[in-house]
Structure 1
Amino acid sequence: MQDWVSYRLNIPQYEERETLDMLRSYLKLSYLPENQFKDDKLSSRHNEVLVAMQNYIRISANVRIPDGAERFVISAKANSERIGYKENDEIYDRQVSAITESVRAVWSSWEIYVQELRSRYPEIVVSASPG
């Protein structure tokens, strides 16, 4: 997760189809009964991650268009030749901002979720610790 967040914040214009498919798969699998948390607080923290991921996917779908078979690019970058530069810069900035804000929301909710896991099960989240 940390690598994806870092990469996406540095290069928000693009997203790989494989990454979006992984996020969708994670969301789909998380709703299976065997993947539900019985603990309310842990469940709530995980649901916050799921909501943030869903929001990222929604925003990505709204601002990105296909750039080949396996990658998406924000539409302002793809359409830069079709509209005026000033208007395109404003659209571009707005789209990049929407992507980066949603990525930060995923990361923030993920950190809170991992912290909750760490407080309960320190032995299984050692590898989730940065550095």
Structure 2
Amino acid sequence: MHSSSIIAVFASILALTTATPTPARTLTARDIPVVDVLVQTSPANDATVTAHAIQVQLGVVKVCLGDNGFPPCQLSKLSISPFGNTVDITEVECQAFTDVKGTVPASGIFTSAYPAVLAQTTTVPVGSVICNYI
């Protein structure tokens, strides 16, 4: 009698372990669609170009931080960098916005072939950037 209850307990444990759902798949960095946007912080016609890349996840508003660590950043030009991307950059378009929510345009749409020049002799405030598939 005692051995049958031990067998029943093992059968119950076995049933519970096989009924446990598999863990959810975790995204890796290469699975997340991102592009690097090169942002020029010096005037577009300046002989000494100052620029850096910001990584923008497709379909997500990327807030642009200024030198003080707060939005907006001051830019003159934006372009899609050919490096650091997880997608085909020829299939992506981006746009800069003056606000951090991505509602008030600061630029037209720019692509890997056509950058957005915001100003030649100065910089303008940019609060965010959004990139999407074309």
Q: TM-score, normalised by structure 1?
A: 0.23
The structure that is strand-richer by fraction is: 2
Q: Would you tell me which structure has more helix in proportion to its own residues?
A: 1
